[in-house]
Amino acid sequence: MTMDESTTVRRLADRAEIHDVMCRYARGIDRGDPDLIRAAYHADAYDDHVHYKGDVEGFIAATAKRMEGVDNSMHFLGNCLIEFAGPDLALVETSFVSSRTRAPEGDEAAGLAPNDAICRQQWGRYLDRFERRNGEWRVARRLVVVDARFNTVAKAGARDRALVWGTRDRSDPYYDFRAQIIRD
């Protein structure tokens, strides 16, 4: 393997590792799993996240509070452009759509059916400074850029049917499904 081929293989592996960090972060937010969220960041990372600006532990606490009363959460990650600035430093821009539903509160319930919900959607980008430290890529600094944000009524969006619903805790079907696969 030539030096160029070796570098190419390393960069492909780096890209895969960075993308996996982003996916685990999204799962952590959606499942309300602080350990997964924490694992996406270096311990001394800074997050400028619209509703919170500060360290990772503060972000986790602020997010848990912000998500109280939320029935579900779903992040969809789109374009993920990774620009390497050195062997252990990268600028990563990842597009996202986040959606969550909750029961209507106060005046929001006026004119809604009992099984309607409020859906909050946000479209934006994570601008991340990723650093590899001790062989691990993680976020060192994040800026969340919001491109669109709105609330809508989710007609029949309440959890009133016998479906397999996602949850924001360890009762989510993912955890049991994963445990079954590991046992096999």
Beta strands in 87-181 (DSSP E): 89-102, 117-133, 136-154
Mean pLDDT along residues 108-134: 94
Please name the helix (run of DSSP H) or strand (run of DSSP E) that holds residue 11, with its range, or none: helix 3-31
Residues 3-183, CATH architecture = Roll (3.10)
Residue 165: the pLDDT is 84
CB-neighbour burial class of residue 45 (10 A; exposed 0-12, middle 13-18, buried 19+): buried
Band (pLDDT 50/70/90 cuts) for residue 2 is low
17-56: pLDDT as tens digits = 999 999 999 999 999 999 999 999 999 999 999 999 999 9
More confident residue, 68 or 82: 82
173, amino acid identity: P
- Per-residue pLDDT tens digits for 101-120: 999 989 999 999 988 999 99
Mean of the per-residue pLDDT values of the chain: 93
User: In the prediction, which pLDDT does 166 show?
Assistant: 87
Tell me the β-bridge partners of 46. Answer: 55, 141
- For position 158, what pLDDT does the model report? 81
Domain borders along the chain are: 3-183
Instruction: Give percent of the chain with pLDDT exceeding 90.
Output: 76
